Amino acid sequence: MGTLRNKMIDAMNLRRFSLKTQQSYLSAVSALAKYYNLAPDQLDAQKIQAYLLHLTVERGLSWSSCNVAVSAFRFFYLEVMGWDRINLPIPARKKPTKLPQLLSRQEIDRLFACAYPPRNRMLLMTTYAAGLRVSEVTNLKVSDIDSNRMMIRVDQAKGAKDRYTILSHRLLEELRLYWKLYHPPTFLFPSTRDPNRKMDIGMAQKIYYQAKQRAGISRGAGIHTLRLCFATHLLEAGVDLRTIQSLMGHTSITTTQRYLHVSRQTLDSKQSLLDLLATEKIAPQL
């Protein structure tokens, strides 16, 4: 893409896109150009739509993969190339609604018990206790633990926003024991290869999956499940949505409200329609 690539990178940097987003957008536009063997500025709306149809129907890519491509094309052609929206009629893609599979408190206890050595256990415990994304927990520094205010600073989280989340007394005690064992210099969970670098996200995921397998837990997806459990368990404990929104770093309360759908407390407060009926029970057969 040459000059166009540099122009696109400048536009993304100006909007402070994360490195991961930049790489995803560049990859999507490069794949489009390679598919037609033409520079992306030589394509028209019909070719772009045909390519998206190819991704969806022929390659059968997931919603999330196709949505990255749609977002990348909209940014490139509307923001970088300056096209009018009427010249790029890409239909909106409806995101499928799927409720997450959560772990119970008992399963989380088993998960922690099956995470070893102590570094692995501490990583998972911190992720759950503070409601962190995997990128946030691997980016934590020793200096981010504020024991005086009993808070954890999350530096430049998603959307380039700083926030604070809770530091429980139990977690603080565990972290102090962990520090005596490992003495991490800068990052709370450093790389085993270089103590001055943070742990790789892939390694954090691997630690979670290993502990999950040892614990015999089949439900739930990746390590992000612990963040979802944090929010849901807080809700079940009676913490209000606004507080959970702040701790999670959600821009919109709508994002936080989805936890209402998976809260056991919410379901327990509602009577089943069947329980309200006066139908007689089935008589046992003799």
Looking at the annotation, which residues are catalytic? Answer: 133, 158, 224, 227, 250, 259
User: Contact, 139 vs 181, CB < 8 A?
Assistant: no
Token look-up 């959970």 returns: 244
CB within 8 A of 197, min separation 6: which ones? 187, 190, 191
Nearest to 79, CA basis, from 4, 185, 8: 8
d(CA 228, CA 98): 13
Q: Alpha carbon of 149 to those of 61, 88, 144, 199, 239: distances in Å?
A: 46, 51, 11, 26, 19
* Residue 146: partners with Cβ closer than 8 Å, 6 or more residues away: 152, 153, 164, 167
**Do 124 and 114 touch, CB atoms closer than 8 A?**
no
d(CA 115, CA 124): 8
DSSP string, 108-164: HHHHHHT--SHHHHHHHHHHHHHT--HHHHHH-BGGGEETTTTEEEEEEETTTEEEE
Q: Are 179 and 189 in contact (CB under 8 A)?
A: no
In the three-class reduction of DSSP (H, G, I as helix; E, B as strand; rest coil), residue 98 is classed as coil
Rounded CA-CA distance 165/244 in Å is 10
Whole-number Å distance between alpha carbons of 107 and 217: 7
